[in-house]
Amino acid sequence: MLPSVAAIHPYEPGKPIEELERELGIADSVKLASNENPLGPSPKAIEAIKLALPELHRYPDGDSFTLRHKIAARHQVSPDRIFMGDGSCEILNLLVYLFLRPGLNAVIADHSFVIYQLATAASGGTAKFVPLTSDYVFDLDAMARACDQHTRLVFLGNPNNPTGTIYRRPAWERFLQQVPEKAVIVADEAYFEFVRDPEYPDSIAYHDGQRLIVTLRTFSKIFGLAGLRVGYAVAREDIVELLNKVRQPFNVTSLGQVAVIAGMDDGEHIRRTLEVNARGMEYLEGEFRRLGLPWLPSHANFILVDVRDGRAVYDALLRKGVIVRPMGGYGLPRHLRISVGTEPENRRLIEAIEQVL
Ligand SMILES: Cc1ncc(COP(=O)(O)O)c(C=O)c1O
């Protein structure tokens, strides 16, 4: 076995509510740990799933034809440039499978989505870590400088999980000029729909048929379908072709396909989600200010807050039925990452934090 595989600490998902309640003998807990949509899925997605249930004995469309074409039309690109995945995590893994092996490396920012480094370790490739700037933003100039002739992947999260920070157009455009041609730039935009900043670069606008940009999006966040596992990549046709060679034949479930087809145009659901998120974020920031807890301004649906001892506060909040995410595994032992919930959930969190502190 590769030594890098033996050394992996598996991804620790947020605790399921049922497990926590069983362990602690409590009820009515709230989960603000996995950046899910607190409003749930679109009612249109639920309706489509119900209608599709009697067909569950059939394999799904292995080509995700209708869904892929719908997404292509939304982005005004050829359907041959869309790759559907079992969540965007699957696509991250497949990219590593395709492009990394011992002797090659991926450039990864410190304090970024942990799957980048787990997948890299699984391949036996080397992770070259680059610190964030002092305000917790990707240092794209330093990431470009870290690339060498053995670099095959550069992982960028915009917004980044867990910091919620973004890089802006000037830094991104400079980065594109500097990165070696051979390196695949993975622009992971799982939280794209939440961003309001006018200088935020939509990486799809920079696909020029030359540069190796792979844009990742997901239906797990604003679309509220994390349980169904559907994500996609927009990329050059040759990269999509490679991804299709190595995926399993039925990687996107039938329910996932119909739910996304029915739910992705539900503008009312998205509008409500954005409104709840913006109001919740404002409330949490105000409360953290009042409590003297430093936080990072976030462009996503979660917020990173410095509580001095993340693990201890996490444990104490758990006992009060509030599930958040300690950030020790991300090299941020003082911090918690808290997903923005509904108004009552956010209030419950703040009350619990006040008692715990
Ligand atoms: C930055 C980032 N990328 C990708 C993902 C994975 O999303 P999916 O549910 O599509 O696998 C997440 C999930 O938390 C994330 O935060």
Site of tokens 């980048």: 116
Helix ranges (DSSP H) in the chain: 3-6, 17-24, 43-52, 65-75, 88-99, 114-123, 140-146, 169-178, 237-246, 254-263, 267-291, 310-319, 343-356
Identify the pLDDT of residue 240: 98
CATH 3.30.499.10 holds for 3-31+267-356: no
Identify the pLDDT of residue 102: 97
Burial class (CB in 10 A: 0-12, 13-18, 19+), 202: middle
CA 219 to chain centre: 10
| CA-closest residue to ligand 1 atom 15 | 190
Identify the pLDDT of residue 12: 73
**β 325-326/335-339 pair status:** antiparallel
Contact 87, 229 (CB under 8 A): yes
Identify the pLDDT of residue 125: 97
Cα distance between residue 184 and residue 181, in whole Å: 8
> Alpha-carbon torsion 30, 33, 36, 37, what sign?
positive
3-state SS string for 256-317: HHHHHHHHCCCHHHHHHHHHHHHHHHHHHHHHHHHHCCCECCCCCCEEEEECCCHHHHHHHH
Identify the pLDDT of residue 15: 67
User: Could you read off the pLDDT of 153-179 as tens digits, one per residue?
Assistant: 999 999 999 999 999 999 999 999 999
Site of tokens 């695949």: 184
Domain residue limits, the chain: 3-31+267-356, 43-263
Ligand 1 atom at shortest distance from the alpha carbon of 218: 10
Cα distance between residue 82 and residue 221, in whole Å: 19
CATH architecture of the region 43-263: 3-Layer(aba) Sandwich (3.40)
| Segments of the chain with pLDDT less than 70 | 14-15
Identify the pLDDT of residue 178: 97
| Dist. CA 218 → ligand 1 center (Å) | 7
Cα distance between residue 193 and residue 222, in whole Å: 7
Ligand 1 atom at shortest distance from the alpha carbon of 231: 10
| Dist. CA 141 → ligand 1 center (Å) | 24
SS3 state at 330: helix
Which pTM does this prediction carry? 0.96
Contact 172, 144 (CB under 8 A): no
On the question of a common fold for 3-31+267-356 and 43-263, the answer reads no
| Dist. CA 354 → ligand 1 center (Å) | 30
Q: Which residues line ligand 1 (CB under 6 A)?
A: 35, 87-89, 113, 157, 161, 188, 190, 218, 220, 226, 231
Ligand 1 atom at shortest distance from the alpha carbon of 85: 10
Identify the pLDDT of residue 24: 80
Identify the pLDDT of residue 65: 98
Ligand 1 atom at shortest distance from the alpha carbon of 159: 1
The closest of 139, 212, 144, 129 to 178, measured between CA atoms, is 144
CA neighbours within 13 Å on the CB side: how many for 239? 31
User: Could you read off the pLDDT of 148-159 as tens digits, one per residue?
Assistant: 999 999 999 999
